[in-house]
Amino acid sequence: MASLYKFSSLVSVKDFKEKITSTINNEDTCLERNVVDRLKISSEMDITQETLAELEDVCSPSNLKFEDEPTSDMDPTTKTTCFSQADLATLTAVSKKEGQNSDPRAKIFYSRNKNYIILSEQLRNAKTNNNDIIDGPEVVLSVALYHPVKLIKVQEFLVVGRQTLTELRDKIYCPADSIVVGEHSENPEFTTVTTAKDICPSGFIFIEGVFYNDTRNYLCRNYSKVIMEWTNEKHKGQQPRYGVCTSKKMEETKFEDLTIKLGYPYVYTHQGNCEHLLIFRDLRMLHGDDPQSVSNYPFPTFRPRPKRQRCMICSIYSARWLTRNDLLMSEDPSLFCESCFKSLHYKNNQKAYTFSAYQYSGHYYW
Ligand SMILES: [Zn+2]
Ligand SMILES: [Zn+2]
């Protein structure tokens, strides 16, 4: 697995797929789960069908699980409760270690010790849509997206080669896209919500000298134009210092059309200057344990644990409003839940004094 600092040599996704499919048999790339030629196995092992069934039963990985086994995305406190109920000394030890039935401060510590969720359970249990089952060999890429400032991984997806880059872009969550635009202190009951993404749908992904611009919406601007003019400018009559860059349409480019370096930091830019590192962490063939429908992809496999910002007055409910130049508050900006915001700032449904108000999402992932 490639890390943030190590990367592979250039790999053409299409060439990789062709090389693999020409090397291995069709039988080996069979996508159906549990497709096993039982007769062939029993004759090769020289055992009867009954013995084979018994062997399957005894060696099944399900024997390693206990009843109500916790899932990976389960809350850690609930998980330790499940552990303590299992009749296994090792799991009882784990539950003791993690502070179950002991110090409540330890419980809080263990429930907060992971700020991310790996969605492996969802991956295993993904429902197959029979209308768009992936027929034949297909490649899967693992794409990670990083925080624009902290440089920590905030999302990771599995995508299949036949999908376009825009299909991934539409699944990427960034709070900068969901900001509700406008000052609403005069009309806090407004119903039409316009987000930053509605106004600025532009964006590009930069991979190996090519800007893939999203041009689906008539409001999209070509962010890459200025950068390309700058990079492609000849330096003292010589060739451009950073190589000649080109641009293509994001919605017309499939992942299998790309040539990439695994582990190399590429860039996804949107909302003007919100820049995320985008890293292809893995490239492999689709196998029987993967979700089998195209509509299952891009499949999220990693996301941060949700957080919430509380109201500064009651400290109970999530913040819904942000005010600026607020005479009643000592902090600027200030955050309020719906109820505290209205009771403090309005009298008989009229604005009681001067301030400006913006809608705020108290729930966020990062
Ligand atoms: Zn962003
Ligand atoms: Zn409140």
Q: Are residues 128 and 156 in the same domain?
A: yes
Domain boundary among 256, 286, 302: 302
According to DSSP, the residues that pair with 146 across neighbouring strands are 153
Provide the 8-state DSSP code for 74.
S
Q: Are residues 350 and 231 in the same domain?
A: no
Listed residues: CB within 5 A of ion ligand 1:
174, 176, 274
Domain membership of residue 203 as a residue range: 119-302
Domain assignment of residue 90, yes or no: no
Domain assignment of residue 10, yes or no: no
User: 122 CA to middle of ligand 1, Å?
Assistant: 25
What is the model's pTM?
0.75
User: 284 CA to middle of ligand 1, Å?
Assistant: 28
Considering every ligand atom, which ligand is closest to the CA of 312? 2
User: 325 CA to middle of ligand 2, Å?
Assistant: 19
- pLDDT the model gives residue 5: 66
Backbone phi and psi for residue 213, each to the nearest 5 degrees, phi listed first: -90, 135
Considering every ligand atom, which ligand is closest to the CA of 334? 2
Q: Are residues 313 and 215 in the same domain?
A: no
- pLDDT the model gives residue 79: 62
CATH at 246: 3.10.290
Considering every ligand atom, which ligand is closest to the CA of 313? 2
Q: Are residues 311 and 297 in the same domain?
A: no
Closest CA to 161 of 64, 289, 16: 16
Burial track 189-210 (b if 16+ CB lie within 10 A, e otherwise): eeeeeeebbeebbbbbbbbeeb
User: 81 CA to middle of ligand 2, Å?
Assistant: 33
User: 81 CA to middle of ligand 1, Å?
Assistant: 38
List per-residue pLDDT tens for the chain, 366 residues long.
445 568 989 999 999 999 998 887 655 555 454 456 778 888 888 988 889 889 988 988 778 777 777 665 566 556 666 666 666 777 777 666 655 555 565 555 555 556 777 777 778 788 888 888 888 889 999 999 999 998 889 999 999 999 999 999 999 999 889 888 888 988 888 777 888 989 999 999 999 999 999 999 999 999 999 998 888 887 777 777 778 889 999 999 999 999 999 999 999 999 998 999 999 999 999 988 888 899 999 999 998 888 889 999 999 999 999 999 998 888 899 999 999 999 999 998 889 988 999 988 877 777
User: 146 CA to middle of ligand 1, Å?
Assistant: 9
Q: Are residues 269 and 233 in the same domain?
A: yes
Considering every ligand atom, which ligand is closest to the CA of 337? 2
Considering every ligand atom, which ligand is closest to the CA of 203? 1
Q: Are residues 233 and 324 in the same domain?
A: no
Q: Are residues 124 and 218 in the same domain?
A: yes
Provide the 8-state DSSP code for 79.
H
Q: Are residues 206 and 284 in the same domain?
A: yes
User: 201 CA to middle of ligand 1, Å?
Assistant: 12
Considering every ligand atom, which ligand is closest to the CA of 148? 1
User: 144 CA to middle of ligand 1, Å?
Assistant: 13
- CA atoms within 13 Å, Cβ hemisphere of 123: 20
Q: Which residues make Cβ contacts (< 8 Å) with residue 108, sequence separation at least 6?
A: none
Domain assignment of residue 19, yes or no: no
Q: Are residues 279 and 326 in the same domain?
A: no
User: 223 CA to middle of ligand 1, Å?
Assistant: 15
Domain assignment of residue 50, yes or no: no
53, 160, 167, 179, 219 from 214: Cα distances, Å: 53, 19, 11, 20, 10
d(CA 7, CA 208): 13
Give, for 121, the enclosing helix (H) or strand (E). Answer: helix 120-124
Domain assignment of residue 176, yes or no: yes
- pLDDT the model gives residue 250: 94
d(CA 148, CA 133): 35
User: 219 CA to middle of ligand 1, Å?
Assistant: 18
User: 161 CA to middle of ligand 1, Å?
Assistant: 24
Tokens of 297: 């992809």
Domain boundary among 302, 330, 356: 302
Domain assignment of residue 179, yes or no: yes
**Residue 62 burial (10 A CB sphere; 0-12, 13-18, 19+):** exposed
Q: Is the dihedral of CA 178, 183, 188, 192 positive or negative?
A: negative
Domain assignment of residue 97, yes or no: no
Domain boundary among 279, 302, 325: 302
Considering every ligand atom, which ligand is closest to the CA of 272? 1
User: 259 CA to middle of ligand 2, Å?
Assistant: 51
Domain total for the chain?
A: 2
User: 277 CA to middle of ligand 1, Å?
Assistant: 10
User: 311 CA to middle of ligand 2, Å?
Assistant: 5
- pLDDT the model gives residue 210: 94
User: 318 CA to middle of ligand 2, Å?
Assistant: 7
User: 157 CA to middle of ligand 1, Å?
Assistant: 16
Q: Are residues 350 and 219 in the same domain?
A: no
Q: Are residues 241 and 286 in the same domain?
A: yes
Considering every ligand atom, which ligand is closest to the CA of 169? 1
Domain assignment of residue 91, yes or no: no
Q: Are residues 355 and 326 in the same domain?
A: yes
